[in-house]
Amino acid sequence: MVLRGWRPLRRGKSLKGFASVDAPSIGLQIDDVAVHAVGSRRWATLPSRPMVDAEGQPLRDAAGKPRYSSPFRWRTHGVAAAFGDKVIALVEAAHPGALAGDGPRARRADLAQQPIRPDSVRPDDDPWSEGRP
């Protein structure tokens, strides 16, 4: 897997930004992979969108937070965890400290896609070629 881009965006308690990745062995590009971190926990989730009711109003959970849904699902938790681990490793390698601490919140001007260091892009480093679906 290859990291194509990273857009920092600190929002809420865990969101640190969005990654764009390629899985060259299966010809798939995924944008807007949400990357989260709280304390020592790190995770990445497939793109999602807000859920809305019949009138187009956002659905909210019991705490009043918007509910999200993704049209994509991993078959197993293990595959989801492997994907998340790889995305986290790619982001941390290309942008050291991007997931550390709470740090300052991103400003709108900081949200532009940042360039990737050339040494972090390795087309042969593809977890899908290791027998994962």
**Model confidence over 53-111: pLDDT tens digits?**
999 999 999 999 999 999 999 999 999 999 999 999 999 999 999 998 654 444 433 44
Mean of the per-residue pLDDT values of the chain: 82
Distance CA 72, CA 28 (A): 13
pTM of the model: 0.71
| 116 has a pLDDT exceeding 90 | no
Confidence of residue 117 (pLDDT cuts 50, 70, 90): very low
Question: For residues 68-78, b (16+ Cβ closer than 10 Å) or e, as one string?
Answer: eeeeeeeeeee
- What are the CA-CA distances from residue 85 to residues 45, 52, 61, 91 (Å)? 10, 30, 28, 10
Distance CA 98, CA 109 (A): 17
